[in-house]
């Protein structure tokens, strides 16, 4: 076998980075724990406890998307190698800022000012995250065999989900226990300590992770030139349009589901965590199954499968009320998990259609456009949500129809537009040489190139 041919551009001893890949899995799980505590139902619990409205909570939950514009700085900083020297301090600062969210309820100020504090902290924290996350993702993804990235992503997600399942159950019990005792602030202080502890552990995993060195000629690429090269990639533009449409559809209703569970449906944090255990187990099975399918199936087919399922899930939420909320929401989550798994793994196509040395720019551009659209849509929808909930009082055509139900139906209807695009223009464009070999990124791998050439193509292990 001639491993020095152009079809095998990255002559890397992937086995050398096996420990780093394991650390990456642990790092992702710890980061996921902090994300859990500062988003979703936890953020909704925190904001509703101090009287912040549902619409404002939804805007806060998508505020990180607006901060995506800062990812353009990551493209510039990614050439300052090694990236771990600036990624680690930025991520630590990001997580320290997020821990401050749970200290806001302790302040004796008007809830309007608390809302402003939430806005500033979340925006600044996510701005920092958007600066380092593309470079960090590119740092670790370089250490995974290109042909195994879909499968590795499935494993990465599964481990985070398993850990998150146990973590959310424990933390939700803490919240409900203190809330029943009438001391919810004690729970918030405990979670602040938890976030700080996770931050320390997370930094340790990054410090001991290896980074593959790169040649100077790659680092000297100008920012404007790199962004131009990526945006001129026709397949990237096609995928970007799909991601933007999906972000818009998802941002119409999804940000309002967190308060819906707590307020209208009346779910306790313990109940939410308990059903999430079942969802997590199901998610792991689905991710593993789809991850294996991705090894022999074009990624575009996973997107073709995931989007219709996602639209069905929105239709189901259109029928979710306090009377049937328990089982209807569970059915919604089942469909949503299947759709999200397929869309997540199918989204790794971005690494196939762009040369390795442009991965950071591709991730940045995609996240910037998707993020801005996500926030803008939620911001536009928020007044409609308030109108449906407050002005109409949850009534539509004389019948009880909650605002979240209406928004879910709107998401499903607009989702049809996405399906038309995916099944026509997008599919044909992506299937033309979709699995083309990646270009040589000019990476160095110390003295391992020779050993890799002599041993043949290595299989990436987790």
d(CA 173, CA 206): 30
- What per-residue confidence (pLDDT) applies to 432? 63
Assess if residue 119 is contained within a domain: yes
Mean pLDDT of the chain: 82
Q: Which range among 219-228, 285-294, 362-371, 378-387 shows the weakest confidence by mean pLDDT?
A: 219-228
Instruction: Summarize pLDDT for 60-119 with one digit per residue, the tens.
Output: 888 877 787 787 777 677 777 788 889 999 999 999 999 999 999 998 888 788 889 999
pLDDT greater at residue 194 or residue 236: 194
User: Where do we find the tokens 């972000």?
Assistant: 247
Average pLDDT of span 167-180: 91
Assess if residue 245 is contained within a domain: yes
The candidate with the shortest Cα–Cα distance to 102, out of 116, 123, 129, 121, is 121
d(CA 261, CA 276): 13
DSSP code, position 82: S
Asked if 59 and 368 touch (Cβ cutoff 8 Å), the reply is no
CB atoms within 10 A of CB 450: 11
Q: Which range among 26-35, 124-133, 314-323, 439-448 shows the weakest confidence by mean pLDDT?
A: 439-448
Assess if residue 57 is contained within a domain: yes
**Domain ranges, residue 70:** 14-435
Q: What is the largest CA-CA distance in the chain?
A: 75
d(CA 192, CA 100): 7
State the total domains in the chain: 1
State the CATH number of the domain containing residue 313.
1.20.1250.20
- What per-residue confidence (pLDDT) applies to 437? 37
The SS3 call for residue 395 is strand
Assess if residue 462 is contained within a domain: no
Instruction: Summarize pLDDT for 403-412 with one digit per residue, the tens.
Output: 899 999 999 9
As a whole number of Å, the end-to-end CA separation of the chain is: 24
Cis amide leading into 245 (omega within 30): no
- What per-residue confidence (pLDDT) applies to 396? 62
pTM for the model: 0.70
Average pLDDT of span 246-255: 92
Asked if 414 and 248 touch (Cβ cutoff 8 Å), the reply is yes
Mention every residue, 6+ apart, whose C-beta is less than 8 A from residue 180: none
Residue 9 has pLDDT above 70, yes or no: no
Instruction: Summarize pLDDT for 376-400 with one digit per residue, the tens.
Output: 999 999 999 988 887 666 666 667 7
d(CA 72, CA 134): 9
> SS3 string of 223-270?
HHHHHHHHHCCHHHHHHHHHHHHHHHHHHHHHHHHHHHHHCCCCCCHH
Assess if residue 458 is contained within a domain: no
Average pLDDT of span 363-385: 88
Residue 252 has pLDDT above 50, yes or no: yes
pLDDT greater at residue 195 or residue 144: 195
Instruction: Summarize pLDDT for 133-160 with one digit per residue, the tens.
Output: 878 888 888 888 877 877 888 888 889 9
308 pLDDT band, cuts 50/70/90, is very high
Average pLDDT of span 263-291: 86
pLDDT greater at residue 93 or residue 57: 93
What backbone torsions phi and psi does residue 133 show, to the nearest 5 degrees? -65, -40
Assess if residue 444 is contained within a domain: no
Instruction: Identify the top-confidence range among 119-128, 188-197, 265-274.
Output: 188-197
What backbone torsions phi and psi does residue 214 show, to the nearest 5 degrees? -130, 150
The candidate with the shortest Cα–Cα distance to 239, out of 431, 72, 440, is 431
Assess if residue 185 is contained within a domain: yes
Residue 223 has pLDDT above 80, yes or no: no
Assess if residue 454 is contained within a domain: no
């Amino acid at each position: 076998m001639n491993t020095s041919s152009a079809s095998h551009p990255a002559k890397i001893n992937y086995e050398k980075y096996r420990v780093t890949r394991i650390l990456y899995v642990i790092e992702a799980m710890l980061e996921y724990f902090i994300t859990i505590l500062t988003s979703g139902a936890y953020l909704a619990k925190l904001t509703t406890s101090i009287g912040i409205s549902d619409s404002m909570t939804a805007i806060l939950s998508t505020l990180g998307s607006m901060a995506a514009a800062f990812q353009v700085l990551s493209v510039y900083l990614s050439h300052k190698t090694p990236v771990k020297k600036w990624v680690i301090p930025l991520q630590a600062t990001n997580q320290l800022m997020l821990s401050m969210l749970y200290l806001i309820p302790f302040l004796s100020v008007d809830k309007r000012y608390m809302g402003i504090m939430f806005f500033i902290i979340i925006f600044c924290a996510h701005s920092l995250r958007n600066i380092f996350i593309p470079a960090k993702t590119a740092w670790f993804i370089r250490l995974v065999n290109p042909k195994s990235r879909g499968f590795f992503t499935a494993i990465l997600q599964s481990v985070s989900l398993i850990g998150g399942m146990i973590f959310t159950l424990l933390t939700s019990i803490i919240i409900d226990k203190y809330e029943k005792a009438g001391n919810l602030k004690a729970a918030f202080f405990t979670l602040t300590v938890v976030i700080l502890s996770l931050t320390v552990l997370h930094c340790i995993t990054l410090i001991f992770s290896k980074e593959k060195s790169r040649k100077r000629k790659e680092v000297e690429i100008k920012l404007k030139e790199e962004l131009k090269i990526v945006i001129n990639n026709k397949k990237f533009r096609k995928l970007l349009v799909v991601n933007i449409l999906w972000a818009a559809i998802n941002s119409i209703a999804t940000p309002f589901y967190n308060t819906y569970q707590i307020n209208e449906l009346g779910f306790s944090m313990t109940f939410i965590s308990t059903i999430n255990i079942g969802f997590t187990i199901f998610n792991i099975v689905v991710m593993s199954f789809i991850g294996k399918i991705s090894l022999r199936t074009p990624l575009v087919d996973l997107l073709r499968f995931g989007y219709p399922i996602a639209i069905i899930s929105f239709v189901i939420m259109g029928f979710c009320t306090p009377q049937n909320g328990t089982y209807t929401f569970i059915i919604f989550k089942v469909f949503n998990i299947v759709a999200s798994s397929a869309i997540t793994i199918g989204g790794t196509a971005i690494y196939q259609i762009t040369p390795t040395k442009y991965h950071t720019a591709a991730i940045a551009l995609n996240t910037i456009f998707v993020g801005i659209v996500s926030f803008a849509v939620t911001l536009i929808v928020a007044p409609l949500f308030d109108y449906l909930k407050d002005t109409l009082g949850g009534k539509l055509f004389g019948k009880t129809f909650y605002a979240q139900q209406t928004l879910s139906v709107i998401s499903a209807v607009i989702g049809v537009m996405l399906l038309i695009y995916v099944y026509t223009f997008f599919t044909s464009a992506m299937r033309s040489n979709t699995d083309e070999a990646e270009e040589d990124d000019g990476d160095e791998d110390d003295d391992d190139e020779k050993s890799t050439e002599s041993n043949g193509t290595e299989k990436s292990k987790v």
